[in-house]
């Protein structure tokens, strides 16, 4: 049996942490979203502040000049990550490609990207899926695990990891951006239909610091994999016994 597990969730929800925990538990490989080596991400956050300042000054149609660049950067890296993952039987992706389209839609709605940038991005995404047979045939995950967190939890985790360009103290315009992003994620979870979806309460379960919470979350995911026929009963029992 083989499986592809994909993580979803807002910034600071713990996708990378849970991916690492899952990979160790299942004895497989985790593939991570590029952040540390992403030269565009800090520019994007600068662009949010620049656009907000221009709109406040009366330039109501001001966009973030780095939105389209960031989205295509992520899309390029995501496809590379998917192709690498598809070379193995079992693997975990710490970010869903379906979230990318949501980010671009939200940034267009907020005025950070233009309509033509949005349409160009959608066409690029569709064409890339069609032109990559190995991805087109297997692009849907076997299980999507979404970590839902509140605004306060998100901010606490953003503060804890300490990236200056993500802090609302350094850029107050991020308050509206983050709150809007939470709403889009809530709607995304309600409409996602590409694969089975398992929602983890990231406020209630601290799967990083609390071992009992971690075991509970792992139980939920393994039970779902067994229910979907992605792991056998023997594998399920072995995983359960390993943590006792």
DSSP 41-108: HHHHHHHHHHHHHHHHTT-TT---TTHHHHHHHHHHHHHHHHHHHTTSSEEEESS-HHHHHHHHHHHH
Task: Say how many domains are in the chain.
Answer: 1
pLDDT at 165: 87
pLDDT at 163: 86
What percent of the chain shows pLDDT beyond 70? 94
pLDDT at 107: 93
- What lies within 8 Å, CB to CB, of 186 at 6+ separation is none
Distance set, CA 75 to CA 53, 62, 124, 129, 187 (Å): 28, 24, 9, 11, 22
Distance set, CA 53 to CA 56, 57, 108 (Å): 5, 6, 17
CATH number reported for the structural domain that contains residue 44 in this entry: 3.40.50.300
- What would the pLDDT profile of 107-134 be if each residue is shown by its tens digit? 999 999 999 999 999 999 888 777 654 4
Instruction: Give which of 66, 59, 20 is closest to 39, Cα–Cα.
Output: 66
pLDDT at 36: 67
CA 218 from chain centre, in angstroms, equals 19
Q: Which residues are annotated as a binding site?
A: 9-17, 33, 45, 71, 95, 100, 157-161, 166
pLDDT at 136: 45
40: containing domain: 3-242
Confidence (pTM): 0.87
Average pLDDT over residues 35-42: 81
Q: What is the mean pLDDT of the chain?
A: 88
pLDDT at 66: 96
**DSSP character string of 100-155:** HHHHHHHHHHTTSS-HHHHHHHHHHHHHHHHH-HHHHTT-S-SEEEEEE--HHHHH
How confident is residue 34, by pLDDT bands cut at 50, 70 and 90?
low
pLDDT at 109: 95
Average pLDDT over residues 73-90: 80
Q: Which residues are annotated as a binding site for substrate?
A: 33, 45, 71, 95, 100, 166
Between 88 and 8, name the one with better pLDDT: 8
Catalytic residues: 94
Q: Which residues are annotated as a binding site for ATP?
A: 9-17, 157-161
Helix (H) or strand (E) holding 224: helix 211-227
């Amino acid at each position: 049996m083989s499986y592809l597990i994909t993580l979803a969730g807002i910034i600071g929800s713990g996708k990378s942490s849970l991916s690492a925990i899952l990979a160790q538990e299942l004895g497989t490989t985790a593939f991570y979203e590029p952040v540390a080596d992403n030269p565009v991400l800090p520019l994007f956050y600068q662009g949010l502040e620049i656009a907000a300042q221009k709109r406040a000054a009366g330039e109501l149609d001001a966009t973030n000049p780095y939105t389209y660049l960031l989205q295509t950067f992520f899309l390029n890296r995501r496809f590379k990550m998917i192709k690498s993952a598809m070379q193995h039987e079992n693997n975990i992706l710490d970010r869903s490609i379906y979230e990318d389209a949501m980010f671009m839609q939200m940034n267009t709605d907020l005025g950070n990207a233009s309509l033509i940038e949005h349409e160009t991005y959608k066409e690029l995404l569709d064409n890339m899926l069609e032109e990559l047979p190995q991805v087109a045939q297997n692009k849907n995950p076997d299980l999507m695990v979404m970590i839902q967190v509140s605004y306060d939890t998100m901010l606490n985790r953003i503060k804890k990891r300490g990236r200056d360009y993500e802090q609302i103290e350094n850029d107050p315009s991020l308050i509206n951006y983050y709150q809007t992003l939470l709403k889009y994620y809530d709607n995304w979870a309600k409409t996602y239909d590409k694969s089975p979806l398992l929602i983890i309460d990231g406020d209630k379960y601290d799967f990083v610091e609390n071992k009992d919470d971690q075991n509970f979350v792992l139980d939920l995911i393994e039970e779902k994999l067994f229910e979907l026929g992605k792991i056998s009963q023997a594998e399920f029992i072995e995983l359960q016994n390993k943590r006792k």
